[in-house]
Amino acid sequence: MPRQYTYGPFRSRRLGLSLGIDILPKNKLCTYNCVYCEIGPTKEVVSPEYRIKAPPSSNFRNELKDILKYVPHLKSITVGYNGEPTLNENLLDFYKIALNVRKEMKWTDEPPLITLFTNSSTLHSGEIRERVKHFDLVLAKLDAATDKDLRKTNRPHKDCPDIMSIVDSLIKLRKDMQNKKLAIQCLIYNSYIEDFISNDNNENIKRLAYAIKKIKPDIVQLYSIARIPSEYYVYAIDGKKMKQIVKTFKEIINNDLIEINYY
């Protein structure tokens, strides 16, 4: 029977062996139209206030159980693929089913984390943060720390909050999550076009580091483009540039409790 919700398991650079969960329509649904997106362009960029009601069918529990019994070494059950998953008002219904199925299974190692990807654009909503805070690990995007870099890199819907509001919402989420973990993900890229300033510029990198210092996440994940991007003119930074950025982050953040990784 064709899968309705799950894909993988696959080897993730940041999560290890991960089973993907897609809770959105098959057409990409997102508040951003990121220049580097590996899924391709967002044909209709929606407001962060946009919501869909798409509760899990009985197929979701069945798919999880059928797949998980064959992967006892799974590291993550990961919600988020075809856009911004917090746009689905039934996000917590999927979480609760995944939690129950995880409890029913036998694991060779520690049970997998239940993980959520978010682009952070909806987290200004207390209702959204209330749902998100339950996940074991939240991977929250923050590619830009200036509004001009946000507009160029993520190309948000006009109703999306500005950078100051996004950072403030991440600070609030960190406080709400208690014993759960928050990771800030920064995808850094370069550009072939001279008049298109990519987000690896010095101002953005320094401001990103200062923003992360305020947020106080558990983990920072720095990475670059690894698949075909949405726009032809962006490409991955090299290893030397990445190490320079890591050095800048460590100097500014200066907090041994925050784990900084790069890929």
Task: Extract the tokens encoding 221.
Answer: 């994940």
Task: Extract the tokens encoding 239.
Answer: 């290893």
Predicted confidence at residue 1, as pLDDT, reads 60
The length of the chain is 263
Strand partners, 77: 19, 114
Task: Extract the tokens encoding 81.
Answer: 């693929």
2: pLDDT strictly greater than 80: no
Distance of CA 161 to the CA centre of its chain: 17
Closest CA to 186 of 225, 148, 157: 225
14: pLDDT strictly greater than 90: no
Max Cα-Cα span within the chain = 55
Across all residues in the chain, what is the average pLDDT? 95
CB 102 within 8 A of CB 69: no
Closest CA to 168 of 226, 219, 129: 129
Confidence of residue 237 (pLDDT cuts 50, 70, 90): very high
Assign domain 6-262 to its CATH superfamily.
Aldolase class I (3.20.20.70)
- What is the distance between the alpha carbons of residues 166 and 163, in angstroms, rounded to a whole number? 5
CB 133 within 8 A of CB 173: yes
- What is the distance between the alpha carbons of residues 134 and 97, in angstroms, rounded to a whole number? 13
pTM of the model: 0.95
Q: Report the 10 Å Cβ neighbour count for 103.
A: 8
Task: Extract the tokens encoding 29.
Answer: 């649904």
Tell me the mean pLDDT in the region 228-244.
Answer: 96
Predicted confidence at residue 86, as pLDDT, reads 98
CB 188 within 8 A of CB 245: yes
